[in-house]
A and B are shown apart, each in its own frame.
Chain A
Amino acid sequence: MEILGYVRPWGGIGIRNHVLILPVVVCAAEVAQRIADAVPGTVAVPHQHGCGQIGADFEQTKRTLVGYGSNPNVAATIVVGLGCEKVAAEQVAAEIAARGQRVELVVIQKEGGSRRAVEKGVEIAGKLVAETARIAPQPVPVKALILGLECGGSDATSGLAANPALGVASDLLVAAGGTSILSETPEIMGAEHLLARRAVNDQVARRLYEIVARVEEGAKRMGVDLRGANPAPGNIAGGITTIEEKSLGCIYKAGTAKVQGVLEYAEAPAGPGLWVMDTPGHDVESVTGMVAGGAQIVVFTTGRGTPAGCAIAPVIKVTGNSRTFRNMEENIDVNAGTIIDGQETIEEVGRRIFSLMLAVARGELTKAEKLGHREFAITRVGPTF
C-alpha cells in the first residue's frame, strides 16, 4: 500500500505541499492574512494568542506554532511577528529551521509598518510558492501517515456507527505500521478504564487516569454540572444523556490497538501505533493540537454535521446519521449511516474510510478542502496577563 508523499529534507513525509503564513501573535494576524490573500497557493492561520502569556501556557502556544511550521504537509513557512511579542518570531522561526524545515521571517516593526511588512511578505511568498511547486510527490509507504481522530457534533449514531467504523480504519493504519492519535480528554471521562486496560504499561495507564482527573477537577472547580457544555445541547437533543455515554461512544474511534503513550497538546508521537493526546473537546483546538503534533490527515466523525476543516491537513468527514448526510452532503465525505440503515457493516464502512484516506493521501481533495475550510485554534492553559 503506497501513498504519494512530499519528502522533506529532514525525512518528514507530507501529503500536501503548503506554503504557510504563520503569525506568532495576534498583532501580526492581519498582516499574515493579507500576505496570504495576495499570494495564491499560500495559507494563513490567524489567531488571538502570543502575547501576555507565561509558563506552560506560553510554552504550549509556542509548541503549537512551531509544530505547524514543522508539519511535513508544509513545504515552507513565513513567520510573521510584530517585534515586541512574548512568543518571539525569531525564536519560532529558529525552532522550525532547526527541525530542517524551510522558513523565512517578516517582522512588522523592523519593516516599518503594515504595508511594508505585507509587501515584503508577498515578495517572499511568491518565491516560496514557485520553489514549492517544483517539489514532486513520490510513492511512499502508507506507514508514513499520522492520523488524527476527531469527533464533534456527536449524536447517538456516533457511538453506534461512525466511531466504530473509524476504529476499523485506525486499526488498519496501525496494522500497516502507521500512527493514530486519539484526542479530546473530556470525552474519555467515563471510559478511561477501558483505554487504560489497553495501555502498553502501568505508567501509560496512570497517565491516562491523570489527564482525565485533571480535566474533571477543572470542570468541578467551575461549580456547575459539566453536562450542558459536554454533552452539549446538540448532543443531548441527539440522544446523548451523560458524558459517560458520550465517552463510551467516542473511544470506539481508537479501534482496538494498544495505547503507546499519552502526549501533551501539540506533542509529536515518538513512534508508530496508537497514542492519546491531551486536548480539549473543542473540535478545532483538538484538531490543531494533533496537526501541530505531526498528523498529516484527520478523520472527523459528526452525527449532527459540522463544516470544520484545517489550514494544512485534509479533514475527512464521516457521519453515522443518514439524515445528516442528506442535510449537509456538501460538507460530509462518507455516510456511515448505512450501518444504522442495515445496508453495510461497521467493517465494510471502516474499509471504505481507509480507502478514502489512501486516496486523499494520494492527492484527492476532501470536501472541507474544496470548500476552503481552514479552521485553526490553539487551546490555552493559563490566563492572559
Chain B
Amino acid sequence: MRAIVISEKDNVATALEDIPAGAQVKVRVGAEEREIRVATAIQFGHKFALRPIPKGGEIIKYGEVMGKATVDINRGEHVHVHNVESQRGRGDLMAKEAER
C-alpha cells in the first residue's frame, strides 16, 4: 500500500492508491520508515494521521499548517472535512459572532 509524506514536519500522509480499512501502510518520513495501520478505508488522494492529533491541534502538510482538528484524531484515522476545519475565509464564524 502506497502513501506519501511530503515534509518531515507533516503529521498526515496522502494515499497514493485506495487503501482498505485495517491495512498496514509503510510511509517514509524523512530518512525513517514507519508503518501505520489505517482505521478506515482511505481513498486515493485522501489523508490519514501519522500520529495522534488532539482537538484544536494543527494539521501539517507540505510542512505548513493546513487547518485545525475539530475533534481528537487517532493515529491511522482518515483526516478530512469531518474532523478538520479551515482557519481562513470563515464568514460563518464572523456571522455567529455578530449574532451574539
Q: Which residues of A contact B (CB under 8 A)?
A: 155-157, 159-160, 186, 189-191, 194, 215-216, 219-227, 230, 236, 238-239, 241-245, 248-249, 303, 321, 323, 340
Contacts and interface: CB of A to CB of B under 8 A. Distances in A.
Interface in B35-81: 43-47, 59, 61-62, 64-67, 79-81
Given A160-B6, A340-B16, A248 B64 contact: yes
Contacts of A239: 14-15, 43-47, 80
B100 interface: no
B95 interface: yes
B62 A223 contact: no
Contacts of B64: 190-191, 194, 244, 248
A245 B88 contact: no
Identify the 8 closest CB pairs spanning chains A and B, nearest first.
A226-B89, A156-B45, A239-B45, A242-B86, A223-B95, A245-B66, A219-B89, A242-B67
A243 B45 contact: no
B4 interface: yes
A230 B88 CA distance: 11
B91 A226 contact: yes
Given A220-B90, A248-B61, 10 more contacts: A190-B66, A190-B88, A220-B91, A224-B92, A225-B91, A236-B81, A239-B47, A241-B59, A241-B79, A243-B89
B92 A223 contact: yes
Interface of B: 4, 6, 14-16, 43-47, 59, 61-62, 64-67, 79-81, 84-92, 94-95
A242 B85 contact: yes
Contacts of A159: 62
14 contacts: A157-B45, A191-B64, A216-B88, A216-B89, A220-B91, A223-B91, A226-B88, A226-B91, A239-B45, A241-B66, A242-B59, A242-B87, A243-B86, A245-B66
Interface-central residue, B59, B88, B89, by most chain A CB under 10 Å? B89
A244 B88 contact: yes
Given A238-B45, A242-B85, A160 B91 contact: no
A184 B41 CA distance: 33
Nearest to B61: A245
Nearest to A220: B91
A159 B61 CA distance: 11
B56 to A, nearest CB: 15
B81 A189 contact: no
Interface-central residue, A155, A160, A227, by most chain B CB under 10 Å? A227
Contacts of B6: 160
A317 B95 CA distance: 39
Contact of A226 (B4, B66, B67, B86): B86
A239 B86 CA distance: 14
B80 A219 contact: no
B90 A226 contact: yes
Contacts of A221: 91
A186 B88 CA distance: 10
A236 B86 CA distance: 13
B1 to A, nearest CB: 14
A160 B14 contact: yes
A245 B67 contact: yes
Contacts of A191: 64
Nearest to A189: B88
Contacts of B80: 236, 239, 241
A323 B65 CA distance: 29
Contacts of A226: 86, 88-91
Contacts of A189: 88-89
A219 B45 contact: no
B67 to A, nearest CB: 4
